[in-house]
Amino acid sequence: MQDGASYQELSRRYGFAPKPESASRLTQLVSRQDSDLDEIAKVIDKDPVLRKRLLRVANPDAENEIEYAVETVEDALMRNGMGCVLVLAMGTPLALALTKTFQTMLALKLEMIDPNEAEPLQGEHLLGTIHFSGKVVGQVYLRMSIDSGNAVAAGILGLSPDELTDTNEIRDAAGELLNIMTGNFKSNLCDAGLDCRLQTPEVKLSTDFRTPIVPGGGVERMALRAGKIHLFVDVTANPWND
Amino acid sequence: MPIKILSVDDSRTIRLIVGRSLRPYDCILCEAANGEEGLAVAVREKPDIILLDVTMPVMDGVTMLTKLKEDPELKAIPVIMLTAESGRDNVIHIARLGVRDYLVKPFKEDQLIDKVGRVVALKKKETAAPAAASVPI
């Protein structure tokens, strides 16, 4: 069967939720290698959440806003370049996909918190990684405590944490969470012209907290919380891998 | 005759959610963990509808859909995509191959039932049963 409908028509037909405009616009701007920094600064300045996150990325050693040495969007862009803006643009659909997944499948409200204020993970934890490659190359890391992993898997499967005895079910649920997050952000990248492919997610128990940064790229660290469940998401990316 | 539904997804979690959603209905759930297995189960079971993921190992959902539509015995089986990928080019390509509907993950169970119910006549079971009948991979 041939279907010549446009994406807009198909979105309506299938009932797709609208995508966040600032993230789409930002990804489109970054995907053009000749983009004007002023144009990007205007988009970020209009979105208080993006602005806050950019300044946090630009001041990695500061423990709070008072310690920020870089205080404006323009300075942050000059110092950190496009790789940093790209991970910010990608982080938005990732965080939204996670939030929506929790709301839809676990009936829990997930909120973003300042990673500096989150209680740090310690020792053995659940680590999910997924690699993407194409015009943009990078990796998404999802970390959570074993207790959080149990609670997430139980919530998704409609069980109580005590009923979960199979560690494969916990890993599979964490992998699906990662899949849903990255599938959404991959769509955002592809729509902006940064075509890429996802590898199958890998979930394992780990004591490794390192997030290797792609040479010349950026990294964004996010922390999210819903009750006792804490999630840590790192995104690394390097655009224009031609 | 119960409706026969094939769920093709590499995530056991999603297959369990699909099974739980369909439990109140008179249907037989068949499962496959990738496109290659999905095609084999489709040939064997001739399902009334297929729920198909995109990103899977061995054979992805787009390849399975292409092969399904090339097969005279299988091409009329309605397919609903069940995937986290809603990128413009992917959606347009998949629509051109021929799918009945598209559900983006994460999804609510009633959204799934609504979309499946628009394609096949889902009937509630008359008596409560412990679990939906299922055909293992």
Q: Nearest by CB to A10, which of B54, B55, B95?
A: B95
pLDDT given for residue A185 in this prediction: 78
pLDDT given for residue A188 in this prediction: 78
Mean pLDDT across A143-168? 88
Report yes or no on whether pTM surpasses 0.90.
no
- Confidence band for A181, pLDDT divided at 50, 70 and 90: confident
Q: Nearest by CB to A14, which of B16, B87, B102?
A: B102
Closest B-chain CA to A6: B92
Q: Nearest by CB to B13, which of A3, A157, A183?
A: A157
CB atoms within 10 A of CB A213: 17
Q: Supply the DSSP symbol for A220.
A: E
pLDDT given for residue A93 in this prediction: 75
Identify each DSSP E strand in chain B by its residue range.
3-8, 27-32, 49-52, 79-83, 101-104, 133-135
Computed over every residue of chain B, the mean pLDDT equals: 92
Per domain, the residue ranges of chain A are: 7-239
Q: Could you tell me which residues come within 8 angstroms of residue A108 by beta carbon, excluding any fewer than 6 positions away?
A: A102, A155, A226, A227, A229
Which of A16-20, A132-136, A166-170, B17-21 is least confident?
A16-20
User: For chain A, first and last CA: distance in Å?
Assistant: 35
**Is pLDDT at A3 greater than 70 in this prediction?**
no
pLDDT given for residue B128 in this prediction: 56
Please tell me the total number of residues recorded for chain B in this structure: 137
Per the CB < 8 A criterion, the answer to whether B51 and B26 are in contact is: no
- Confidence band for A141, pLDDT divided at 50, 70 and 90: very high
Which residues are registered as beta bridge partners of A238?
Answer: A137
**Is pLDDT at B23 greater than 60 in this prediction?**
yes
Which residues are registered as beta bridge partners of A133?
Answer: A197
Per the CB < 8 A criterion, the answer to whether B38 and B29 are in contact is: no
**Of A100 and B35, the one with more pLDDT:** B35
Per the CB < 8 A criterion, the answer to whether B89 and A196 are in contact is: no
Q: Supply the DSSP symbol for A102.
A: I
Strands B49-52 and B3-8: parallel
Q: Nearest by CB to A172, which of B12, B55, B101?
A: B12
Residues in B touching A11 (Cβ below 8 Å): 91
Mean pLDDT across A88-117? 84
Mean pLDDT across A149-156? 91
Per the CB < 8 A criterion, the answer to whether A136 and A153 are in contact is: no
Q: What is the ipTM of this complex?
A: 0.82
Q: In CATH, what number is assigned to the domain containing residue B111? A: 3.40.50.2300
Cβ B13–A172 below 8 Å, yes or no?
Answer: yes
**The tokens of A49 are what?**
């959440």
Domain that holds residue B28: 3-135
CB atoms within 10 A of CB B112: 18
Mean pLDDT across B110-122? 96
Compute φ and ψ for A226, nearest 5 degrees.
-140, 100
Q: Which residue has the tokens 């990316």?
A: A237
Which of A100-104, A173-177, A194-198, A201-205 is least confident?
A194-198
Per-residue pLDDT tens over the stretch A213-224: 766 667 788 899
Which of A7-21, A64-78, B39-53, B63-77 is least confident?
A7-21
Residues 23-52 on B with a CB inside 8 Å of A are none
Q: Which residue has the tokens 């964004």?
A: A220
pLDDT given for residue B129 in this prediction: 55
pLDDT given for residue A1 in this prediction: 45
Which of A19-28, A165-174, B125-134 is least confident?
B125-134
- For the A7-239 domain, the top CATH level (class) is alpha beta
Mean pLDDT across A50-73? 83
Mean pLDDT across B88-100? 93
* B89 touching chain A per CB within 8 A: yes
- Confidence band for B41, pLDDT divided at 50, 70 and 90: very high
Compute φ and ψ for A17, nearest 5 degrees.
-75, 145
CA dihedral A93, A97, A100, A104 (to 10 degrees): 160
pLDDT given for residue A214 in this prediction: 65
Q: In Å, how far is B37's CA from the nearest CA of chain A?
A: 17
How many domains in chain B? Answer: 1
**Is pLDDT at B70 greater than 90 in this prediction?**
yes
Cβ A105–B87 below 8 Å, yes or no?
Answer: no
Cβ B86–A16 below 8 Å, yes or no?
Answer: yes
Q: In Å, how far is A128's CA from the nearest CA of chain B?
A: 14
- For residue B16, the one-letter residue type is L
**Of A117 and A213, the one with more pLDDT:** A117
Closest B-chain CA to A17: B104
Mean pLDDT across A78-90? 75
Most A CBs within 10 Å: which of B34, B53, B86, B100, as the mutation test of the A interface? Answer: B86
Per the CB < 8 A criterion, the answer to whether B95 and A195 are in contact is: no
Q: CA distances (Å), A29 to each of A26, A35, A80, A224, B29, in order?
A: 5, 6, 16, 27, 45
User: For chain B, first and last CA: distance in Å?
Assistant: 21
Q: Rg of chain A over CA atoms, in angstroms?
A: 18
